[in-house]
Amino acid sequence: MANISFTLKVWRQNGPKADGHFDTFEMKDIPTDTSFLEMLDILNEQLIEEGKEPFVFDHDCREGICGMCSLYINGHPHGPATGATTCQLYMRRFHDGDVITVEPWRSAAFPIIKDCMVDRSAFDKIMQAGGYVSVRTGQPQDANAILIPKEKADEAMDAATCIGCGCCVAACKNGSAMLFVSSKVSQLALLPQGRPEAAKRAKAMVMKMEELGFGNCTNTRACEAECPKNESIANIARLNREFIKAKLND
């Protein structure tokens, strides 16, 4: 098992209105099979032993499911690994002597809480605006009670894999949340259960996105390139169609 040593620069900031700065640390003999978050754990253990304040970052499942590990690493949301979250990034991706720079998501809609932890409750507000289906609960229906073409079911499932991490916003030069919103709209719009509220959903979620300060989409496809779940901008085209149809039916 190989070890590497490198320079780590991490963003430190006490809150959304405080001035931020980079702190630099020399990391020595880190095993290459260590995950990126485990490496940050090692850093924090060292800082605590020295009586210093640990570096704050988000994490939860560490299995690529929750999307909490929102770090901007060397110019890439979640780091240089394609189709992976930060917790799925391992130190073997880096080389001995590298300089690794860690920053938070940069978006007016994601204010910094502390260091590299940001407030992503804006996504929750967008979902509350229309990312749901109003259905009667109770005894579940038979799986074949509502027939859905496999192609549509597969598309809806692909859209539903979005974990809401905010990577698309961080990657976009405009800070747009269109890939997130369109994925959440698509997973419902493609299914018959989601059609009754389709018009209301598209308008409500887009309006809430704009209200919260996210930027506009200019189709640079940076969001698609960096998304850890490989969401397609075809979802954005679908959202635009849903929104236009809704406006025409006003």
Q: For 205, left (φ over 0), alpha (ψ -120 to 50), or beta?
A: alpha
The pTM score is: 0.92
Task: Encode pLDDT of 30-86 as tens digits.
Answer: 999 999 999 999 999 999 999 999 999 999 999 999 999 999 999 999 999 889 999
Mean pLDDT in residue range 226-236: 96
Question: Which residue type occupies 3?
Answer: N
Radius of gyration over every alpha carbon of the chain, rounded to an integer in angstroms: 20
For 50-197, where are the alpha helices, taking DSSP H only?
A: 121-130, 150-160, 167-171, 178-189
Question: For the segment 207-226, what is each residue's pLDDT rounded down to a tens digit?
Answer: 999 999 999 999 999 999 99
Using an 8 Å Cβ cutoff, are 96 and 103 in contact?
A: no
The token pair at 19 is 């001035």
Whole-angstrom distance, CA of residue 93 vs CA of residue 70: 18
Residue 24: pLDDT band (50, 70, 90) is very high
What are the tens digits of pLDDT across the range 131-180? 988 876 677 777 777 888 999 999 999 999 999 999 999 999 999 999 99
Note the pLDDT of residue 178. Answer: 97
DSSP label of 140? P
Does residue 119 carry a pLDDT above 70?
Answer: yes
How far, CA to CA in Å, does 59 sit from each of 81, 139, 165, 245? 18, 36, 11, 39
Decide: 36 and 76 in contact? Cβ < 8 Å. Answer: no
Contact indicator for 173, 77 with CB cutoff of 8 Å: no
Say how many Å lie between the first and final Cα of the chain, rounded: 64
Residue 71: per-residue pLDDT = 97
pLDDT score recorded for residue 137: 63
| pLDDT value, residue 145 | 79
> Which amino acid is present at 84?
A
Higher pLDDT, 100 or 142: 100
The tokens for 97 are: 């002597």
Instruction: Find the mean pLDDT for residues 91-116.
Output: 96
User: How does the average pLDDT of the chain come out, rounded?
Assistant: 94
> Structure tokens of 121?
């409750």
How many angstroms separate the Cα of 66 from the Cα of each of 69, 87, 104, 165? Answer: 8, 10, 17, 7
- Exposed, middle or buried by CB within 10 Å (0-12, 13-18, 19+), for 136? exposed
β-sheet bridge partners, residue 112: 118
